[in-house]
Structure 1
C-alpha cells in the first residue's frame, strides 16, 4: 500500500488507521508488564493521541520502549511514526478522521443484507438493497443539511452567519469552538499582533488547557494558530476565534469557510488544490454507464431465461438494438 499510494497519489499523505493500531497494540502490549507496573497500553495510547509536539512524543516513546525490552512490534510501528502520532499529523488535512470509518461502516451495512450461502444472483439482489439503503440515507442527510436549521445557543453575529452557511453537524462543532473561545484568555508576546491563548476549564475547576501561539493579521483578516486545527479539519479553533474577536472581526472571513462544509457543497464546480476545475474523467463516466446498463441487462436476462417466449422476444430485441447501436456509432465516427 505504501508504494502504491506514493505512486498513484503523490500529493497525498498516507496515514495509518489509529483504530487498527490500537487493536494491534492490545494484542502485543496488554500482556506486557513494566518494571514499575505502569500501564504499557495507556502509555502507548498517549503516544498515539495526546502529544502535539514531536520532541515530547519522542521522549515519551523512548520512555515506553525502555520499559519493554526487545519488543519487535513497538520497533516496527516506530519506523512508521510519521503516519500515526498526532504530532506528525498536525499539518495533514484529515477532516478529523484518523480511522477507516467509511470502510467499517460499509462492511457493517453489508452484513445486514448478505449471507455466505447466497448464489451470485441472490448476492446482487441483496447488494442492490444495501446500495439503495446507503443512497436513501445520503438523500436524508442532504435534505437535513439543506432544510433544517441548527439550534443557536447565543445570538452572536458570527454564529448566525455560520448557522446559515454550515451544515448542522459542522455548525454544532463550530459552535462548540465558539463557546470555548468565550472561556479563553490571551496575553501578548514580545512580537506584535501575536498572543499566547489558553482555554479556561469549562467544568468549574481551576485547571487550564495547553496554551497555543496565535498570530493575527488585521489587514488580511487572518489568524495563524500553532494548534493548526483549521489546517487539519477546516474549522477554526477556539484559540483562533479568540484572536479574531480581539481584532474586532465579528463575521467569519470568506477564506475560512470551506465549501465542503456548507449546505451548498454539491453545487458549482469542484476545484483541485491549484484552483483548476476538475473535469469528469471520460473513462469513469463510461464505467458508470456500463455498470448501469449491465445491471439492467442482468435483470432482464434473469427474468426472461425461465420463459421461452420471453427469451425469444429479448433475443430479437437485442439483435435489433445491437444493429442500431452499431449504425449510430458508425454515423458518429463518419461525422467526426
Structure 2
C-alpha cells in the first residue's frame, strides 16, 4: 500500500469529505471528485494545501486546459472525427485536419519567432513570400 495520509474535512454544510494525500506523488484526491470530473482542484484540496503551507499547485493539477497552448491542437472524438465549433462551411474532414495541422505548425513557429525581434521580421518576410504563392490560386476562383 502507498504511503498516504487520509484526512476528513467538514465544511459549513456539514458534509464530510475525505482527502487522501499520496506522499510519493505529492497529489491529493478528494471524495467530492471535482478535480477528476472537471479538472479543478476543490476547496477541500486547497484547504489541505494551505494548512500544509504549500503555496504552489503541483503540476498534476495544471491540466492542458489551463495552459496558454490549450487551443493549439485540434480536438477529435473517440472515433477520430474532428470536433469543431459550429462549422460554417462544408469542408471535408481531411481538409480540416490539414488546416488544424497547419495552424499548429504556424503557432509553433510564431512562438519561436516572437522570442526576438529579428525573428518576427523574418517571419513577416517569409509570410509575405508565402502569400505570393497563393495569389494566382485565389484570383482564379
The structure where helix makes up a greater share of residues is 1
Q: Which of 1 and 2 has greater Rg?
A: 1
TM-score normalised to structure 1 length: 0.22
